[in-house]
Amino acid sequence: MNKDPNVLVMGQDVGYFGGVFRCTEGLYEKHGAHRALDTPITEGGIMAAAIGMGVNGLRPVVEMQFADYIYPAIDQIISELARLRHRSGGEFWSPVTVRAPCGGGIRGGQTHSQSPEGIFTHVCGLKTVMPSNPYDAKGLLISAIEDDDPVIFFEPKRIYNGPFYGHTSTLGNGGSNVATSWSAHPAGEVPEGHYKIELGKAATVREGGDVTVLAYGTMVHVAEAAIKSSGIDAELIDLRTLLPLDIEAVTTSVQKTGRCVIIHEATRTSGFGSELAAEVQEECFFHLKAPIERVTGWDTPYPHAFEWEYFPSHERIIEALERTLAVD
Amino acid sequence: MAQPQQQSQAAPLPNEGQQAPSPYNSKLHIPKASSRPGETPDFSQLQIPDAGHTEKPPIDTDAVAMQDLAYGLIRVLDDNGKAIGPWAPDLSAERLREGLRHMMHVRAYDERMFRMQRQGKLSFYMKCTGEEAIAVAQAMALNGGDMLFPTYRQQGLLFVRKRPIVDMMCHCISNAKDNLKGRQMPVFYSWKEGNFFSISGNLATQYSQAVGWAMASAYKGEDHLACAWVGDGSTAESDVYHALLFASTYKAPVILNVVNNQWAISTPQSFASAGTTFAARGTGFNIPSIRVDGNDFLAVYAATQWAAERARQGLGATFVELFTYRSEGHSTSDNPEAYRAKGEGQAWPLGDPIERLKQHLININEWSDAQHEQQAQELKDDITRDWKEAISYGTLEEGPHWPVQSMFDDVFKEMPAHLRKQRQMMGV
């Protein structure tokens, strides 16, 4: 925002208050009410206004208070934002970034826990990002803002304050954020100043030879812990950007290991894991030694009382790893 | 008629955040809040008509002919607790005491549940402190067959309709006796038996559904109306305008309420009010629209009765702005001192609904301070007893809950094969 006066943040409670998850704290004081713009509660209206502002030269960064609240804006996103460049023959575009806290693990019930990334990767014309750590979040967010195409930027709310490794038995107080912190994590350090992480580039979190694990967001940490406790020599890839997908990183790894387990928190059917499985079999069919496994949320609305039974657990991840390794 | 709630000045921008100088006059207007931390709360600019001042039109009055009521404020109780004017309802002392008891009961319940959330027994909670008169008086003015489409701050409806408190608590802690089977966050009640629609959690979505429900009632030739609520902030959602247009077009038997409690989490009502009243926009849809002192039990009751009669006489919808104040935070997840001046609630000029009705009852020699205190203690004890019973059926953290595999039920009426397979994969 220092670098480009045309960048502004807008959304419900993002201005004076600094956002319900404190993501825009201090921007109002530093940049003014017009650049940390509080809005009425109308996601469709916010989205439409952002599109118009983007067409007129600004770079709006919209906060949807929860990813679950994005649906009233979906016509504006799917029919307008995503297609504007294409339908106008390249005459108009709107470089909006939409930030949305997603995912469960905070006892948010069905309207504060969803992971709708698969809906947006299905729409042509949108880039879709989900970081798993603070260092990546900043670098990817700057890339998203500077990108001339619209980007849907999901922020897993479970890991705002620290990594979550999926050890649910130690959680108290309704499973809300426990005292984990990013300070001990290598990617918890966020440098001052401008840096970018290119959209469409995955990161290898852990190298391994026996099986490739594809994950993003909170699940990167859960998968990492599960792999560690299983003792399995798995290679863990954090996709970071879902679309455009870093297919090269994925295929290089799966061609090496010959096995693939996909993990996401979103519901299973037509989830992004389905797309990943299809891509992997297209690119790596003759290298595969076992069926591709998916560990996902169940095809039910996110249940308040059964968060941890819904959430892909260590147990389910390890079972999937063992199943794929059991096939010769 | 004076228009209250004017916000015509742009917020002062912080020094470093000034909009860049421009040779033109164009400038983005940012509405102001009633107060921010460090400021002295001041509601002196509000135009509040005297109790008894606002006329009461016949129920078949045309929306435009009565548009003054969209800018006025129906008030019955004056500052001394006296009921005056054409809107004073004909309510027995017994009914008034019943209303007072319900409001006190709601407050005792809210206080207990809030405390239990702070102790980690609930994942979340939302109080309606200062707004109790709205749900309680409205439910009392309606018939049992009328369908309620509430938001998360009308728990008083359930008290009037006599939902067992233990059942409400069991929902809030997702235990084995939760009628929502552990699926919903606390306070998103549903109670079909009491004609209380399932609260979604998404804002304003049910406002327009209420109109559809009312259209069906008219279609079938029934006498039931629908009553829906939305907050000041949520009026920004397009669903509200879908509701108004359908209600107007089909003259649906519905009461559409806007609870203007001044705050939407940290965002003041000025971001949704367009610098005028909320009731004003109903007139644009040619729906009779009234503005009511939401902290005045008698005014809320009378206005609801008037609107209900219109609906039952086939005269269509009424749009009602209930002018009130959210005394506490939005929920257990926010601290209001971070975004509004401390003590703003004490500065609210329309008082507390419980205190005002209590004062009225004492004035007419139908109540006393001693009775009031005794009742408050009894209700508190009742709530303590109910809580103990509720947790005997299970707690959020320890259970027992519904069986975990029940999460696969009710996704569809009959479970398709892929869900049966997933349930098997879960291993339960």
**For range A129-148, the mean pLDDT:** 98
b/e sequence A117-151, b meaning 16+ C-beta within 10 Å: bbbbbebebbbbbbbbbbbbbbbbbbbbbbbebbb
Nearest beta carbon to residue A12 from set B17, B185, B267 = B267
CATH 3.40.50.920 given to domain A198-326:
yes
Neighboring chain B residues of A107 at a CB cutoff of 8 Å: 123-124, 185
Q: What mean pLDDT comes out for the span A301-311?
A: 93
User: Can you tell me the distance from the alpha carbon of B95 to that of B299, in angstroms, rounded to the nearest whole number?
Assistant: 14
What Å distances lie between residue A305 and A153, B120, B396, CA to CA?
28, 14, 7
Is B54 in CB contact (< 8 Å) with chain A?
no
pLDDT at B20: 77
Q: What per-residue confidence (pLDDT) applies to A176?
A: 42
Mean pLDDT by 10 residues, chain B (428 residues): 39 56 89 96 94 97 98 97 97 98 98 97 98 98 98 98 98 98 97 96 94 96 97 97 97 98 97 97 98 98 98 98 97 95 95 98 98 98 98 96 96 95 90
pLDDT at B14: 46
Q: Domain A7-159 is classified in which CATH homologous superfamily? A: Thiamin diphosphate (ThDP)-binding fold, Pyr/PP domains (3.40.50.970)
d(CA A178, CA A176): 6
Angle at alpha carbon of residue A82, lines to A79 and A85, rounded to 5°: 105
Region B47-334+341-392: CATH code: 3.40.50.970
Q: What is the distance between the alpha carbons of residues B322 and B295, in angstroms, rounded to a whole number? A: 8
B375/B116 Cα distance (integer angstroms): 22
Q: How far is A277 from chain B (nearest CA, A)?
A: 18
pLDDT class for A173, splitting at 50, 70, 90?
very low
Domain boundaries, chain B: 47-334+341-392, 403-428
Nearest in space to B256 (alpha carbons), one of B199, B196, B214: B214
What letters, b where the CB count within 10 A reaches 16 and e where it falls short, cover B58-91? Answer: ebeeebeebbebbbbbbbbbbeebebbbebbbeb
CA atoms A169, A173, A176, A181: torsion sign: negative
Contact across the interface for B30 and A44, Cβ inside 8 Å = no
* Structure ipTM: 0.86
pLDDT of B427: 84
Catalytic residue among A31, A112, A221, A264: A112
Phi-psi region of B201 (alpha: psi -120 to 50; beta: other; left: phi over 0): left
pLDDT the model gives residue A177: 44
Nearest-angstrom CA–CA distance, B290 and B279? 6
Q: Where are the beta strands (DSSP E) in A157-272?
A: 203-206, 211-215, 234-238, 241-243, 260-267
Nearest-Cα distance to chain A for B365, in Å, is: 46
Provide the token pair at B16: 């470093």
A112 is catalytic: yes
CB proximity list for A107: less than 8 A, separation 6 or greater = A174, A175, A176, A304, A307, B123, B124, B185
Range(s) of chain A covered by CATH 3.40.50.920: 198-326
The whole-angstrom separation of Cα B406 and Cα B179 is 12
Return d(Cα B158, Cα B160) in angstroms, integer: 5
CA atoms within 13 A on the CB side of A40: 20
Interface of B with A in 353-412 (CB under 8 A): 396-397, 401-402, 404, 407-408, 411
Please indicate whether, in this complex, the C-beta atoms of A109 and B184 are within 8 angstroms of each other.
yes
Q: What residues does CATH 3.40.50.970 cover in chain A?
A: 7-159
Q: How far apart are CA A269 and CA A292, in angstroms?
A: 15
pLDDT of B138:
98
Q: CA-to-CA distance for A223 and A321, rounded, in angstroms?
A: 10
Residues of chain A contacting B418 with CB distance shorter than 8 Å? 269, 299
Helical spans, DSSP H, in A15-167: 27-31, 43-55, 74-75, 84-87, 117-121, 134-146
Examine the pLDDT at A162 and tell me if it is beyond 90.
Answer: yes
Name the nearest CA neighbour of B252 among B202, B216, B296, B276: B216
For B2, counting Cβ atoms within 10 Å of its Cβ (0-12 exposed, 13-18 middle, 19+ buried), the class is exposed
Closest CA to B180 of A249, A201, A110, A62: A110
Which residues on B lie below 8 Å from A41 (Cβ)? 203, 233-234, 236-237, 264, 267, 272
pLDDT at A232: 98
> Tell me, what's the pLDDT at A42?
96
Closest CA to B233 of B197, B189, B275, B203: B203
Q: What is the predicted pLDDT for the residue at B428?
A: 76
Q: Give the ranges where B119-234 is alpha helix by DSSP (H).
A: 132-141, 156-160, 165-172, 205-219
Compute the average pLDDT of residues A61-76: 96
Q: How far apart are CA A242 and CA A260, in angstroms?
A: 17
Structural contact between residues A156 and A218, judged by C-beta atoms closer than 8 angstroms: yes
User: What element of type H or E holds B323?
Assistant: strand B318-323
- The answer, for B43 touching chain A at a CB cutoff of 8 Å, is no
Q: How confident is the model at residue B16, as a pLDDT?
A: 52
